[in-house]
Structure 1
Amino acid sequence: MQADNAAATTTSHDDSRYLPIGEHGLIGDLRTVALVGTNGTIDWYCCPRFDSPSVFGSILDADKGGSFQLSADTPATTKQFYFPDTNVLITRFYADDGVGEIQDFMPIAADRLEADRHRLIRRVTCVRGALPFHARVAPRFDYARQPHKVRQDGSRTTFESESLCLALSASVPVETDGRDAWSRFELREGEYAVFALDRVGGDITPRGCPIEEAEDEFAATVGYWRNWLSHSRYRGRWREVVHRSALTLKLLTYAPTGGIVAAATTSLPEQIGGGRNWDYRYVWVRDAAFCVYALLRLGFTEEAEAFMGFLSRNVGRDSNHGAGPLQIMYGIDGRSDLPEYELTHLEGYRGSAPARVGNAAVDQLQLDIYGALVDSIYLYNKWGTPISSDRWEEVCTLVDWVCGNWDQPDEGIWETRGGRKNFVYSRLMCWVAIERAMRMAAQRGLPADIPRWRETRDTIYRDIMRHGWSDTLQAFVQHFDEEVLDASILMMPLAKFVSPTDPKWLSTLDALGRGLVSDSLVYRYDPEVSPDGLQGPEGTFSICSFWYVEALSRAGRLDEARLAFEKMLTYANHLGLYAEEIGHTGEQLGNFPQAFTHLALISAAFHLDHALG
């Protein structure tokens, strides 16, 4: 088992300057997001988009990154929760003299295509007694690389940098030193104060935010999220956590294009002090396609349609050096160029350098994306709206390419940087791409080269059975003709490649349980046995843990599945959010929150509910 290899790493940095990754909530407006700590500080916010340079980035450098602090100005304990069935975040302060709270939210633009206006509202109130508060707005534009100027006009304070201009409107007096702005004020029971941060400049005119307007925007934002969530068809045992996951996936959607980002952040480490720090603020075809599957399961078809439109605008672009009709990832606007570089002036979260922007994996070949994508189109055709003739042509283009290229070695689902190999999971998902396309063609009588597709599909199946099985391990393995376990193989029964009760699969499930599972938590693979071109260990991978739950459920091992699922729920943060990984002592690691994890939770809950009856 790999657990002993993942011991916590100590660093010489002052960790007290950083909240744990999991001590954050998320707010957003379907264009960008902000992370709000349990201490009331916004320490991650990019404007105007998910992948824009940060304005507040203290999560990557507590001293240089910039933040928006807002808290009780007296010793207090805090608690954080979401306003029920919404993405409006409440942070409460409990002090000797009273109780106060911050209501953080971003109003949602009525026009889905609106991409320029952005507003972040922080509504402060005292609910009992009386409390002093302190606010400090310290933007550091362009990942703390661009200087800025400050000017004041009445209740408005404007921060101007070369590339971005933000205006702070406040209902309480604000002072400035020419770089930052701050305010100290006291509220008594029932009183409110409002801070609104708006993008301004160009055609975007400044606007104020009086207390009454903030109240109206609060009500409208609550109404938007509750109306959206009301379309969910899920009525199972884990409704609260499933709906929180759905709300999180929706927050990671870029409404103007329909793209869905893999996570809200960049460079949060998979190991404290390590270098496995990546930028996940882009649209991975695989991750987004799985998101579509999860949302469709719950009855949300609008997001699926928007993502299909995103793909239609990008299928066939020959931007990946001839590696295929699709790149593995795109910018949220569909751009294909995502150069990776390091922010060497930032120390990284708790000293976990380097902090990175862009992602060099964009040029990798990952054949599994075609299976994820075609499967999501198949499900949209089945549960949403029958796909158009143009979209069917796009599917045929993808599947014909897969038929000619499925046997290439690739970098695989985990984006290893140790060279291309014949990954079993990549072959599996090529099989899925062809098999799902054949189903669509048969169901609707659509034109296709069925003889070629069938021959290729069957060849892949036999190749996996011959070269992807280890007699020594009595298990399916990571890549052909080797003896390494990989948790991605858990997708075999989920993708209907093997029966969930096939003896070979049950043997594989047992082998994975012995080799990669620790207290329901699942490692992707053992990097000591299967070098991936990177240094250091990592935590358990949460999507794999939920795949494990679903595989147990499908195999009829319901007591084990339910226990594993309930254990996984204890590893969520206080709001039900998950990062990419779980560390040695149960802490959240990696970018946060992670779409992959939340979509797998939805699928596991759905299938476990069904199996339990």
Structure 2
Amino acid sequence: MAYTPIEDHAVIGNLHTLALVNLSGSIDFLCLPRFDSPSVFGKILDDKKGGCFTFFCEDEDIRYKQLYLPGTNILLTRYLSKTGIAEVTDFMPIANAEQDFAIYRRLKGVYGDHQIRVDIKPRFDYARQTCRVEKRPDGTGYLMHDPAGEQPTLLLLTSADLEIKEDGLEGMISLRHGENMDFLLTLAEGERHEPDFMPAFKKCRDFWSSWSSRCNYDGPWKEEVLRSVLTLKLLTSKRFGSTVAAGTFGLPETIGGERNWDYRYTWIRDSAFTMYAFLRLGYTEEAEAFMVWIQDKCMDSLQLMYGVDGRKDLEEISLDHLEGYKQSQPVRIGNGAYDQTQMDIYGELIDTIYLYNESGGSITREFWGEISVMVDFVIENWRTKDHGIWEVRSGKQRFLHSTVCCWVALDRAMTIGDDRSLPYPLEKWRTVRDEIYEEIYDGFWNEDLQAYPQFLGSETLDASALLMPLLRFVSSKEPRWLKTFEQIEKKLTADVLVFRYKQEDGATDGLEGEESSFTICSFWYAECLARIGRIDEATIVMQKLLGYGNHVGLFSEEIGIHGEQLGNFPQAFSHLSLISAAFQIDKQTRNTNACAR
């Protein structure tokens, strides 16, 4: 079967869900009504059974171009052929309510005449259901029903004459020079959206342009940073304030391998880093909304990840009826890591609260009490073995990154308390913080490896050690950390690409097969180069890394050995680390230039 490469997609969204649109104009992925709902279109996971909303230009010798309107998430897909030029404009209006969904699609004959084939095949409930289609009695559109009645009925409004098939709609459009043909896919219930394209287009464009104008970054790679924060915004729920780790599920980290996870959930770690990116760029409202979600859903008993709405049970199951992207099985929904022990999340969350406080956010007495309870938990449990930042399924260890983050939890909480003059047991907290520091600095150090290893007593390198100066645990000039950096650079890099760890070097995560380079680690590498003063190298590494992004500047989770993008898409981790690296390289460059003057 012919699968469109992961990187040959762009994304549109309404802050409740998102859709993947490929280079030829096919919507290959969409879940309704929100990110972690069942899919309606899933062609990217099963070329035959997954379902899609396809425009296919029948012109000869066709080439495709795809781009976003600047500062927006409005997508243009162009068909360039001997006949001329045709164009598709795709966008989703920003929805105020979760059940308020629409995709506007305009076919435009820019130059010449074209034949466009339309194929619309919803496949409800992760393609476990087909669809039942009927024409509306007034003849103004088509209703597409979930036969099981579990998902909302879709309404297609268009003046195109389409043929009702057993499992969808088909038709051929003769698109002439200067003509437009509009399609509005929405929900039958309520009919909140008018079919007129231009008013909806203008409102959507105004929203994104206004939101983008608030970005305060003015350094190098400004366009890439803006595209990244626009992508992070698309991964953020307007209703709940939570963010998802990625827009998709089941896309493989290795073709044909078993590392195929569901990332449509709210990881505390990923969300904390995302809020850091938002705060750096001046987007305080997003951080405030996330803090409300945290206080409402998580402070009583923190776990690794949640549903977008805060639900805690994310049972992992396999969709055996789906072939998987390029025959990569199993295709999983839910995520079995949700109940893992992960000590790092306490530090990452409290670090985000610290940054929120630094930006002027409110720390109420009640909130401080909840933070203090969290700190007390860290004090009692910082030596607890866990599954680490990478959520290994091979058993618990005393992971370096987790222990560093326990130190971060205490250090940042003390800073918040001092800044706000809030009560806390100074001697107790400081004693444990310093005890954690000493154990890491001396106890974790591996003299034979000449590095801080993946976990206590390990002989394995792990790229998460790159975070030690980023979290301010050590100076970027600390000799032991510089030796660790040297070993990572020597053993875990392939030019500018960085692997999390190497199975061949003794790492084990409980899964079969090798994985590809990890994009977030690659951007950490670029940032670390800047921090240690190798600014020219950092700039080159950054520029080369950006070259691995796709045609519209999006990144998935990993970059394969053939340069292809792998894993779920688009990936928040990748984009937030891009922002952090650009920010740090710009900062170090400005500091160096200032000193030179």
Residue 25 of structure 1 pairs with residue 1 of structure 2: no
Residue 158 of structure 1 pairs with residue 143 of structure 2: yes
Please list the CA deviations of residues 373-428 of structure 1 after superposition, one character each: whole Å capped at 9, or x if unmatched: 10111001101423222222221121111111111000000000000001000000
Which deviates further from its counterpart, 502-511 or 49-58? 502-511
Residue 140 of structure 1 pairs with residue 123 of structure 2: yes
- Aligned partner of 1:100 in structure 2 is 86
- Aligned partner of 2:595 in structure 1 is none
Structure 2 counterpart of 1:188, which letter?
R
- Maintained 8 Å contact 1:59/1:65: yes
Alpha-carbon RMSD: 1.1
Question: If the length of structure 1 is used for normalisation, what is the TM-score?
Answer: 0.94
- Aligned partner of 1:337 in structure 2 is 313
Question: What's the CA shift for 1:572?
Answer: 0.4
5 Å-filtered alignment, 1:31-46, equals 31-46=16-31
Match of 1:394 among 347, 358, 370: 370
Judging changes above 3 Å, is the alpha-carbon distance between structure 1 residues 38 and 191 closer, same or farther for their aligned structure 2 residues? same
- Aligned partner of 2:290 in structure 1 is 307
Structure 1 counterpart of 2:199, which letter?
D
Residue 405 of structure 1 pairs with residue 370 of structure 2: no
C-alpha distance in 2, partners of 1:272/1:603? 29
Structure 2 counterpart of 1:449, which letter?
P
Structure 1 counterpart of 2:34, which letter?
R
- Aligned partner of 2:102 in structure 1 is 119
SS at match of 2:251: coil
Match of 1:494 among 470, 488, 495: 470
Q: Which runs of 5+ in 2 are unaligned?
A: 591-597
Which deviates further from its counterpart, 120-129 or 389-398? 389-398
C-alpha distance in 2, partners of 1:359/1:589? 18
- Maintained 8 Å contact 1:83/1:89: yes
C-alpha distance in 1, partners of 2:55/2:588? 46
Residue 171 of structure 1 pairs with residue 159 of structure 2: yes
- Maintained 8 Å contact 2:59/2:83: no
5 Å-filtered alignment, 1:503-522, equals 503-522=479-498
- Aligned partner of 2:404 in structure 1 is 428
5 Å-filtered alignment, 1:168-317, equals 168-200=156-188, 204-206=189-191, 209-210=194-195, 213-317=196-300
C-alpha distance in 2, partners of 1:96/1:219? 32
Question: If the length of structure 2 is used for normalisation, what is the TM-score?
Answer: 0.96
C-alpha distance in 1, partners of 2:214/2:568? 29
C-alpha distance in 2, partners of 1:527/1:433? 30
SS at match of 1:562: helix
- Maintained 8 Å contact 1:194/1:209: no
C-alpha distance in 1, partners of 2:199/2:50? 32
Question: What's the CA shift for 1:188?
Answer: 2.2
Match of 1:79 among 54, 62, 65: 65
- Maintained 8 Å contact 1:42/1:69: yes
Structure 2 counterpart of 1:97, which letter?
T
C-alpha distance in 2, partners of 1:388/1:568? 42
The percent identity for this pair of structures is 48
- Aligned partner of 2:594 in structure 1 is none
- Maintained 8 Å contact 1:468/1:478: no
SS at match of 1:603: helix
Question: What's the CA shift for 1:171?
Answer: 2.3
- Maintained 8 Å contact 2:452/2:461: yes
Please list the CA deviations of residues 159-209 of structure 1 after superposition, one character each: whole Å capped at 9, or x if unmatched: 111112111111221211132102211222321111111122xxx323675
- Maintained 8 Å contact 2:131/2:168: no
Q: Which runs of 5+ in 1 are unaligned?
A: 1-13, 318-324
Structure 2 counterpart of 1:39, which letter?
S
SS at match of 1:91: strand
Please list the CA deviations of residues 42-72 of structure 1 after superposition, one character each: whole Å capped at 9, or x if unmatched: 1100010101111000111001111110132
Question: What's the CA shift for 1:464?
Answer: 0.5
C-alpha distance in 2, partners of 1:246/1:579? 15
- Aligned partner of 1:551 in structure 2 is 528
5 Å-filtered alignment, 1:567-578, equals 567-578=544-555
SS at match of 1:246: helix
Please list the CA deviations of residues 307-330 of structure 1 after superposition, one character each: whole Å capped at 9, or x if unmatched: 11111112344xxxxxxx201000
Match of 2:448 among 472, 475, 481: 472
Residue 537 of structure 1 pairs with residue 514 of structure 2: yes
SS at match of 2:583: helix
Residue 50 of structure 1 pairs with residue 38 of structure 2: no
Residue 606 of structure 1 pairs with residue 589 of structure 2: no
Residue 91 of structure 1 pairs with residue 77 of structure 2: yes
